[in-house]
Amino acid sequence: MAATYDDRDGKIWMDGKLVDWRAANVHILTHGLHYASSVFEGERCYNGKIFESVKHSERLKNSGKLLDMEIPYSVEEIEKAKYDVLKANGWDDAYVRVVAWRGAGEDMGVASSRNPVRMAVAAWEWGAYYGDAKMKGAKLDISKWKRPSPETIPVHAKAAGLYMICTMSKHAAEAKGCSDSLFMDYRGYVAEATGANIFFVRDGEVHTPDADCFLNGITRQTVIRLLKERNVTVHERRIAPEELEGFEQCWLTGTAAEVTPVGQIGDYTFEVGQMARDISESYEKLVRS
Ligand X SMILES: Cc1ncc(COP(=O)(O)O)c(C=O)c1O
Residues involved in catalysis: 158
209 binds ligand X (CB under 6 A): no
Q: Looking at 103, 137, 254, 263, which residue binds ligand X (CB under 6 A)?
A: 254
220 binds ligand X (CB under 6 A): yes
C-beta separation of 249 from 261 below 8 A: yes
Q: Looking at 169, 179, 219, 280, which residue binds ligand X (CB under 6 A)?
A: 219
Q: Looking at 38, 143, 208, 255, which residue binds ligand X (CB under 6 A)?
A: 255
Shortest distance, position 97 Cβ to ligand X, whole Å: 11
Report the relative pairing of strands 249-254 and 117-124 from DSSP bridges: unpaired
The type of residue at 113 is S
Residues 6+ apart with CB under 8 A from 26: 33, 101, 103, 104, 118
- Per DSSP, the residues of 125-158 read ----TTTTHHHH-EEEEEEEEEEPPTTTS-TTS-
Nearer to ligand X, 107 or 284 (CB): 284
Shortest distance, position 220 Cβ to ligand X, whole Å: 6
Number of residues that bind ligand X (CB under 6 A): 14
Nearer to ligand X, 111 or 164 (CB): 164
- Cα torsion 253, 157, 38, 163 to 10°: value is -50
Q: Which DSSP letter does residue 203 get?
A: T
Sign of torsion over alpha carbons 59, 65, 71, 77: positive
261 binds ligand X (CB under 6 A): no
Selected range binding ligand X among 130-138, 148-156, 200-208, 213-221, rule: CB under 6 A = 213-221
Shortest distance, position 255 Cβ to ligand X, whole Å: 3
Length of the chain: 289
Nearer to ligand X, 65 or 108 (CB): 65
Q: Looking at 215, 244, 259, 275, which residue binds ligand X (CB under 6 A)?
A: 215
Residue, CB closest to ligand X: 217
260 binds ligand X (CB under 6 A): no
Question: How far apart are alpha carbons 54 and 41 in whole angstroms?
Answer: 11
217 binds ligand X (CB under 6 A): yes
Q: How far is CA 212 from the centre of its chain?
A: 16
Q: Which DSSP letter does residue 200 get?
A: E
What are the φ/ψ torsions at residue 2 (nearest 5 degrees)?
Answer: -65, 150
97 binds ligand X (CB under 6 A): no
Site pattern 158..197 for ligand X (x: CB under 6 A) = ----------------------------------x--xxx
Q: How far is CA 17 from the centre of its chain?
A: 25
Nearer to ligand X, 14 or 157 (CB): 157
Binding site for ligand X (CB under 6 A): 42, 192, 195-197, 214-215, 217-220, 253-255
